Amino acid sequence: MKLNFSKMHGLGNDFVIINNLQLQHSFTAAEIKFIGDRKFGVGCDQILIIDPASDGISDFYYKIFNSDGSIAGQCGNGARCFIRYVTEHGLTTKKQIKLQTTSRIISGQLITPELVEVDMGVPEFRVEHIPLLMPQAAHYQLEFDLQTLKFSALSMGNPHAVIILSHEAQLNNAAELSHIAQTLQHASFFPDSVNVNFVYIVDNSLIKLRTYERGCGFTLACGSGACASAAALIKQNLVHSTLTIQMAGGELNVTWNEANLLMRGAAVEVFSGTIEL
């Protein structure tokens, strides 16, 4: 079976987008892994499938798969690419577009041809909604390699842990950060695993971020991770409510005032093609 696709990226976080509005195919985990393989398939961090909405409210069902074949609950960079795709490919004439996901409804719009704003909804700190099998607290900790690892936890439609680094150079220690991230991802108190965000606070309006995602490891950028990190720091009054997040792939701007969290950033289409499954 041959399928048309588009390759897009948001700050280097890359995606394969497939229009499945006619429900012409039901994707298996093995097919998703093949599409996402950088040597034998197209190659990407996540595969985004455009299905018809089933909730009677949204314009599209935004299905997200990690490149290892697992299902993802949310992806902010992918949402921006998804919104640009459905707009520019004539799948909708609406300015404000609602997307159904497995965990919540989000919405967004094109600001310029490449700049997209997404309303990511309300950050969720209640442990039963993350989910996190620990008593509710402002911060959490784990005894790790003879030290105490402190982290915040929340959901942006997918689970996130946020760890504040004391030195910027720590962002470059991939081996140590991977070890910490994988320990948290396999911890029994995160039953659905977790995306792990390492942040360094430059000043009240700027942070630097590196995210280790479920299902694909380090990515050049993570939209939901940027939003989760911003929300965690804003809630602790460590930064302003409007914040710039710098990642290896570029910058996002986030605003949160105890209501819905807004994210702005670029979305770029790279090429289109056909793949045979």
DSSP secondary structure of 114-160: SEEEEE----B--GGGTT--S---SSEEEEETTEEEEEEEEESSSEE
CATH number of the structural domain 2-117+266-276: 3.10.310.10
Find the mean pLDDT for residues 57-62.
97
DSSP, res 196: E
Residues with catalytic roles: 75, 222
Strands 115-119 and 262-266: antiparallel
Closest CA to 222 of 84, 113, 75: 75
Domain at 127-259, CATH homologous superfamily = Diaminopimelate Epimerase; Chain A, domain 1 (3.10.310.10)
Find the mean pLDDT for residues 156-163.
96
pTM of the model: 0.89
Q: Looking at residue 147, what is its pLDDT?
A: 86
- Domain spans of the chain? 2-117+266-276, 127-259
Domains 2-117+266-276 and 127-259 share a fold: yes
Share of the chain above pLDDT 90, in %: 90
Helix (H) or strand (E) holding 178: helix 174-185
Find the mean pLDDT for residues 230-240.
97
Q: Looking at residue 159, what is its pLDDT?
A: 96
Q: Looking at residue 5, what is its pLDDT?
A: 97
Q: Integer distance in angstroms from the first to the last C-alpha of the chain?
A: 5
Q: Give the whole-angstrom CA distance, residue 87 versus residue 94.
A: 8
Q: Looking at residue 44, what is its pLDDT?
A: 95
User: CB count, 10 Å around CB of 210?
Assistant: 25
Confidence class for position 105, pLDDT limits 50, 70, 90: very high
Find the mean pLDDT for residues 150-174.
97
Share of the chain above pLDDT 70, in %: 100
3-state helix, strand, coil in the chain (%, to 5): 20, 40, 40
Find the mean pLDDT for residues 204-217.
94
Q: Looking at residue 72, what is its pLDDT?
A: 86
Quick one: tokens of 275? 């793949």
132, 162 in Cβ contact below 8 A?
no
